[in-house]
Structure 1
Amino acid sequence: MDRGLSDEVIVVGGGVVGLTTAVVLAESGHRVRVWARESGERTTSAVAGALWWPYRIEPERLVGDWALESLTVYEDLAARSARTGVRLVEGVHAGLRLDGLGPWAARVPLADTSEGLSARLPLIDMPVHLGWLRQRLEEAGGTVEERVVRGLGEVRSAVVVNCSGLGARSLVPDPAVRPVRGQLVVVENPGITTWYTSAEKTAAGPGGGAEGSVSAYFFPQPGGLLLGGTAHEDAWSLEPDPDIAAGIVARCAAVRPEIAGARVLGHRVGLRPYRDAVRLERELLPDGRLLVHNYGHGGAGVTVAWGCARQAAGLVDPGPAA
């Protein structure tokens, strides 16, 4: 191996998956630096609705364990919600039934009702949570550096952990990673304290583009009520579409009429990094460097962050059985 390589672990990507993975690595004794093209409120993670739920992520046989491991962490963090941004909030997944879910659901407090599945689940204020993750990383000796990476080969470290999300499409490169565009509207909360989601249906994309899916959901966050949502595959625009925004408000107001008169505070757009299956594996490069991939989490990066982070850390330190 090149003796000029750093013995630090470089984590590429500063979203929730990258920061959580960096925290786990730093707290296990590694010197860790996060290289992030964007950090904090400018990441895709920052604009997420952030309700814990396995949404648009594969493969199902692995997702359940990752999600449940993360759920346990979030339940603990909810005891310090002001610092961590994690709260346990009641709500309903309209139209869903227990028998339509995977085996993981048997270990989650869900109840069938006439409206759908009722549950008390983690709801995460992402700007606060991302700040808390960064602080926890720094307390463990890690750092975050805003830096544009154009290819993984330029990361001169003995161990590189690739948590670049949609960026993996060009960094690896991996054309299997595709954007699924999501748009939200933030309004003044008219007094709603529970979350709500409904099933998706087909609709036109931004600007009348390719079809995707739309749904009605609202999440009460400290900064306002988040209304959604959309899921348009292979759509790259980060500009809010006013017609889509109007449709979001109308669908949510059909469920809770008081939303119709709520003052709009802002619009958010994010590109979910979808892949047919999450890539979570180790790769030994020809020069002896170790590259661990942890990307392609679709709309469930928050939901599986801790489970995937711990598995990724185990790939860095695989032990004798690996």
Structure 2
Amino acid sequence: MIVVGGGVIGLTTALVLAEHGRRVRVWTREPAERTTSAVAGALWWPYRIEPEAFAGEWALTSLTVYQELAERPGETGVRMVEGVHAGLRLDELGPWATRVPELRETGAGLQARLPLIDMPVHLGWLRERFLAAGGVVEERSVKDLAEAFESEAVDVVVNCTGLGARELVPDPAVRPVRGQLVVVENPGITTWFTAAGHSDVKTTYFFPQPGGLILGGTAEADEWSLVPDPAVAEEIVRRCAEVRPEIAGARVLGHRIGLRPTRDAVRLDRELRADGRVLVHNYGHGGAGITVAWGCAHDAARLAEG
């Protein structure tokens, strides 16, 4: 079995399959640390993902896993951190929200203790656990998913290529939503904050990570540039400093750009090829790949195993 794609969706799916006893190879164009997943702010929350009903269930499955992984934060990169989603109310969300422990309304919005994930550490942990389960990671580029079926020994291919699915499937419904982040020295902030609507181009959020305070952000549809815009970066810092003034004087450590692989609805389905072999698609998770990774991985594994 081959999983194409080595971001958080691909590695999590491959890990679930390997721990179900399957022999799995991951084909990835680049190391996990250079994928879109690696630059994510990585707060657990179903953001820019459809359909909400399915996304909520996938997210809750993942939440249970992350709560367990948070018992070993240094190893897994997962911590449970308190914070506020400004301006949100429970009645604006789907039924899934009532099942999130301690999610409560306050005068400022919704407050909760949620998983916040240090992605470079977490991706490394996923890869090592996958290798320990007998998996293999190969760095290689593909121009067509059919390449993965060239060996007769491959009975199932799982497509976790994210934005790459736009060309590989091909699926023009997959579109980039560009996010720009700024990393600054943390002036002592220990809680996260978001003010980010699903359709907002400009968003305001900050996440305290071990490598610094991550400030955001933007959500620019159909923008492909990976070059940070200095004016946008200044505006991000200014918006975050309106919430916490001490951010204004924080030293800038770096800039990040990520292209969220957005689709009108996540594609998670099974194709039976003419030769009887199976192609499973698991892509289009928008800004919530980390949030739904484990739920989607278990569903993808069920489809792969028939």
Corresponding position: 1:24 with 2:16: yes
Give the structure 2 partner of residue 100 of structure 1: 92
Corresponding position: 1:140 with 2:140: no
Pick from 234, 250, 267 the counterpart of residue 246 of structure 1.
234
The two structures have a TM-score, normalised by structure 1, of: 0.92
Corresponding position: 1:41 with 2:33: yes
How many pairs does the alignment contain? 301
Cα deviation 1:221-243 (Å, max 9, x = unaligned): 00000000110000000000111
Distance 1:116 1:199 in 2: 12
- Report matched runs for 1:139-218 at 5 Å: 139-156=132-149, 157-200=154-197, 213-218=201-206
More strand by share: 1
Point out where structure 2 has 5 or more consecutive residues left out of the alignment.
none
Aligned CA RMSD, in angstroms, stands at 1.0
**Helix, strand or coil at the partner of 2:241:** helix
Mark the CA change 1:90 to 1:291 in structure 2 (over 3 Å): closer, same or farther: same
- Does the CA contact (< 8 Å) of 2:48 and 2:198 recur in 1? no
Pick from 118, 121, 124 the counterpart of residue 114 of structure 2.
121
Cα deviation 1:138-196 (Å, max 9, x = unaligned): 00000111100111011122210000000000000000000000000000000000000
Give the structure 2 partner of residue 220 of structure 1: 208
Q: How much identity, in percent, do the aligned residues show?
A: 74
The two structures have a TM-score, normalised by structure 2, of: 0.97
Cα deviation 1:106-155 (Å, max 9, x = unaligned): 00121111111000000000000000000000000001111001110111
The ranges of structure 1 where at least 4 consecutive aligned residues each deviate by more than 3 angstroms after the TM superposition are 199-202
- Does the CA contact (< 8 Å) of 2:163 and 2:174 recur in 1? yes
**Helix, strand or coil at the partner of 2:70:** helix
Deviation at 1:200, TM superposition (A): 3.9
Give the structure 2 partner of residue 260 of structure 1: 248
Deviation at 1:17, TM superposition (A): 0.3
- Does the CA contact (< 8 Å) of 1:87 and 1:124 recur in 2? yes
- Does the CA contact (< 8 Å) of 1:50 and 1:126 recur in 2? yes
Distance 2:238 2:204 in 1: 9
Distance 2:92 2:70 in 1: 28
- Does the CA contact (< 8 Å) of 2:77 and 2:117 recur in 1? yes
Give the structure 2 partner of residue 65 of structure 1: 57
Mark the CA change 1:148 to 1:127 in structure 2 (over 3 Å): closer, same or farther: same
- What letter matches 1:245 in structure 2? A
Distance 1:179 1:277 in 2: 14
- What letter matches 2:121 in structure 1? V
Give the structure 2 partner of residue 292 of structure 1: 280
Distance 1:219 1:312 in 2: 30
Deviation at 1:201, TM superposition (A): 9.3
Mark the CA change 1:230 to 1:151 in structure 2 (over 3 Å): closer, same or farther: same
- What letter matches 2:155 in structure 1? A
- What letter matches 1:221 in structure 2? Q
Pick from 64, 78, 89 the counterpart of residue 70 of structure 2.
78
Distance 2:170 2:279 in 1: 14
Deviation at 1:61, TM superposition (A): 1.4
Give the structure 2 partner of residue 209 of structure 1: none
- Does the CA contact (< 8 Å) of 1:201 and 1:214 recur in 2? no
Deviates more, 1:153-162 or 1:66-75: 153-162
- What letter matches 1:166 in structure 2? L
Give the structure 1 partner of residue 103 of structure 2: 110
Give the structure 2 partner of residue 6 of structure 1: none
Distance 1:190 1:278 in 2: 38
**Helix, strand or coil at the partner of 2:238:** helix
Distance 1:40 1:276 in 2: 25
- Does the CA contact (< 8 Å) of 2:47 and 2:198 recur in 1? no
**Helix, strand or coil at the partner of 2:247:** helix
**Helix, strand or coil at the partner of 1:96:** coil
Distance 1:260 1:283 in 2: 51
Deviation at 1:39, TM superposition (A): 1.7
